[in-house]
Amino acid sequence: MLEKNYLMPGAALTMLLDHLRNRTLAVETVPLHDAFGRILAVDIIAQEDLPGFARSIVDGYAVRAVDTFGAREQMPAYLTLAPEILMGTTPSFVLGKGEAAPIPTGGMLPEGADAVVMIEDSQVVSNTIVEIMHAAAPAENVIQRDEDIRIGECVLEKGQRLRPQDVGALAGLGIPSVEVFRRPIVAIVSTGDEIVPLGEPLTMGKVRDINSFTLRGLIQQQGSVALWKGIIRDDFESIRAVVAEALAESDMVLIVGGTSAGVRDMSAAVINAFDGPGVLFHGVAVKPGKPLIGGIIGSRPILGLPGHPAAAAICFANFIRPALDMLSGEHEKRTFPRTVPARMAKAVASVAGREDHIRVRLDEGQSGLIAVPVLGKSGLITTLVRAHGTVAIAGPKLGLDAGEQVDVRLFEP
């Protein structure tokens, strides 16, 4: 059956993101050693050249390249030894015509020198003379003063999530602290009369809270901060009060649970009890995750997630993660999804008009990876525990054939 009343997932996500595009979080300054993983709030313009002087990249002799032209093993150039250049110091002399100065890797070229001959291509013949058996081109074995970074250059752009090497480049420029966006705070409001918090005794008919633990990890993995608001009874006024608190303390609110029809409607009603625009969509043509609710209160995104653990996690990957990436201030970069190619171990049926996310385990096959569907209801957390990732079946498709080539989207480690 076609799920006629449900929005297609792409449309639902676009609707949500359109409301977040112009939001920016506050900026804070962090010392560079805490900057890894944070998102730049400003462009970084180099205030100096890197390395700042011409350096040798080999152990050898600093020379004027022109003095070595034509040199080869059978016909070396004979150069006069200039003083040795010590690591980390400025040479106190100018290299004259016909001279060669011993220089270590990383050493500073003296004025007058424009190339370095590797030690392997030289031979000292006396206290004053060295044979050069290789014609050095100008700039050979040299890093120029601005070859890594040039003063005035934009090294990193606003919106860049700082990778280890980006932090390294900032250190190279002597930047001790950077302005980054504050990490988004995501409030988790768990609901359900049947949910018992970890550590409390379980009575028959009740289940323990799984979702707030899974979601906390997913939020941390994205680089945001999770704020758990506890388990709230299925009562409109109680949920409304905690959501009001959560809105004041966070940048995004997740109401989790309420998988039964009556309670689902309650989450939507709670969202609409605040300032608009309120509920944007209620129900998405995706499996698992169909009951997903997306809304905006003022400028804050608020989502109603199904209580089934696998459904909640898959909704996170497909809707909340992209929304959180945008909210974090990360620029809309080209993204490279973490997928691996595999072949389906068996056929899986789907329904046209609905996007299915099949959980799969990856096994090693004779000619590549085999994706084995991990079957089971979306209420089973172990369907995620036993899986390495998911395979999406696009809306119009009627399923996957056995042996069909698919891209498996891996769970993050």
Query: Which residues from 114-133 bind a copy of itself, rule CB under 8 A?
Result: 119
Q: What is the spatial distance between Cα 12 and Cα 281, in angstroms, rounded to a whole number?
A: 7
Residue listed under structure tokens 């996690």: 313
Q: What is the spatial distance between Cα 191 and Cα 71, in angstroms, rounded to a whole number?
A: 81
β-strand 60-63 against 115-118: which pairing, if any?
antiparallel
Residue listed under structure tokens 């007058």: 112
Query: Site for a copy of itself (CB under 8 A): which residue of 26, 75, 204, 349?
Result: 204
Residue listed under structure tokens 């270590």: 104
Q: What is the spatial distance between Cα 4 and Cα 1, in angstroms, rounded to a whole number?
A: 9
Site for a copy of itself in 22-41 (CB under 8 A): 32-33, 36-37
Binding piece for a copy of itself, criterion CB under 8 A, among 14-22, 201-209, 268-276, 393-401: 201-209
Based on CB atoms, which residue is closest to a copy of itself, 274 or 411?
A: 411
Site for a copy of itself in 172-191 (CB under 8 A): 172-174, 176
Q: Residue 157 interacts with a copy of itself (CB under 8 A)?
A: no
- Taking alpha carbons only, the member of 255, 233, 265 closest to residue 189 is 255
Helix, strand, or coil (residue 71) = coil
Written as six digits, the tokens of 173 are 């420029």
Based on CB atoms, which residue is closest to a copy of itself, 255 or 296?
A: 255
**CB half-sphere exposure, 9, CA atoms < 13 A:** 26
Q: 272 φ, ψ to 5°?
A: -75, -5
Binding piece for a copy of itself, criterion CB under 8 A, among 3-11, 16-24, 126-134, 210-218: 210-218
Query: Site for a copy of itself (CB under 8 A): which residue of 381, 391, 393, 400?
Result: 381
CB of 242 to a copy of itself, least distance (A): 18
- Taking alpha carbons only, the member of 233, 231, 218 closest to residue 320 is 218
CB of 310 to a copy of itself, least distance (A): 8
Written as six digits, the tokens of 113 are 């020198």
Q: Residue 89 interacts with a copy of itself (CB under 8 A)?
A: yes
Based on CB atoms, which residue is closest to a copy of itself, 97 or 331?
A: 331
Query: Site for a copy of itself (CB under 8 A): which residue of 7, 132, 136, 155?
Result: 155
Based on CB atoms, which residue is closest to a copy of itself, 74 or 364?
A: 364
C-beta neighbour count of 81 within 10 angstroms = 17
Query: Site for a copy of itself (CB under 8 A): which residue of 5, 26, 70, 262?
Result: 262
Based on CB atoms, which residue is closest to a copy of itself, 31 or 70?
A: 31
Q: Residue 259 interacts with a copy of itself (CB under 8 A)?
A: yes
Contacts of 307 (CB under 8 A, 6+ apart): 191, 192, 211, 256, 257, 258, 259
Binding piece for a copy of itself, criterion CB under 8 A, among 63-71, 100-108, 127-135, 271-279: 100-108
Q: What angle do CA 44, 45, 47 make, to 5 degrees?
A: 125
Size of the site for a copy of itself (CB under 8 A): 98
Q: 310 φ, ψ to 5°?
A: -70, -35
Binding mask 355-374 for a copy of itself (x = CB under 8 A): -------x-x----------
Binding piece for a copy of itself, criterion CB under 8 A, among 4-12, 67-75, 242-250, 260-268: 260-268
Query: Site for a copy of itself (CB under 8 A): which residue of 7, 170, 279, 392?
Result: 170
- Residue 86 in contact with residue 108, Cβ under 8 Å? no
Site for a copy of itself in 277-316 (CB under 8 A): 307-309, 313
